Amino acid sequence: MGIEVVTIPVADVDRAKRFYESLGWRLDADLRLNEEIRAVQFTPLHSGCSVAFGEGLTTAAPGSAQRFELVVADIEEARADLMERGIEVSDLFHLGPSGFEPGADPERASYQTFASFADPDGNGWLLQEVTERAAGRT
């Protein structure tokens, strides 16, 4: 089994479509299946999993999806790219001894540095820097 598509709840499909287009993600589909169902699907570059949203796809409240992780090799470059696209992105933070702390991981250890952003509905995305995969995670 493999996860290929996750559905996120949005209030305004066209507004969400414009946002995900602005990320530079590939538009895979925008289908009106009937009067009640419209499905829009995007895939982040280099990803095997897509994101779907639309009308009649989920009963979850718009903005209730949180902590979708986007793995990047260089978090500073990824953050800068998003900001150049007009996306509001948090400062970098890392997992320290007392929880999340400001700034990049002092040792720049893989899996330890993050930044976050949200879509217009408040669905939350997390950038995670992975420079070296843990054993068995290739």
pLDDT computed for residue 136 by the predictor: 66
Residue 61 covered by a domain: no
Query: What would the pLDDT profile of 35-86 be if each residue is shown by its tens digit?
Result: 999 999 999 999 999 999 999 999 999 999 999 999 999 999 999 999 999 9
Taking all residues of the chain, what is their mean pLDDT, rounded to a whole number? 95
Question: Are residue 102 and residue 76 in the same domain, yes or no?
Answer: yes
Asked if residue 135 belongs to a domain, the reply is: no
Identify the CATH number of the domain in which residue 39 sits: 3.10.180.10
The span from the CA of 103 to the CA of 12, in Å, is 34
**pLDDT score for 133:** 77
Q: What is the count of structural domains for the chain?
A: 2
- pLDDT tens across 72-118, in order? 999 999 999 999 999 999 999 999 989 999 999 999 999 999 999 99
Residue 123 contacts residue 65 (beta carbons within 8 Å): yes
Co-location of 77 and 45 in the same domain: no
Q: Is residue 123 part of a domain?
A: yes
pTM across the whole model: 0.92
Confidence of residue 138 (pLDDT cuts 50, 70, 90): low
122 falls within a domain: yes
Please determine, for residue 18, whether its predicted confidence score (pLDDT) is greater than 70.
yes
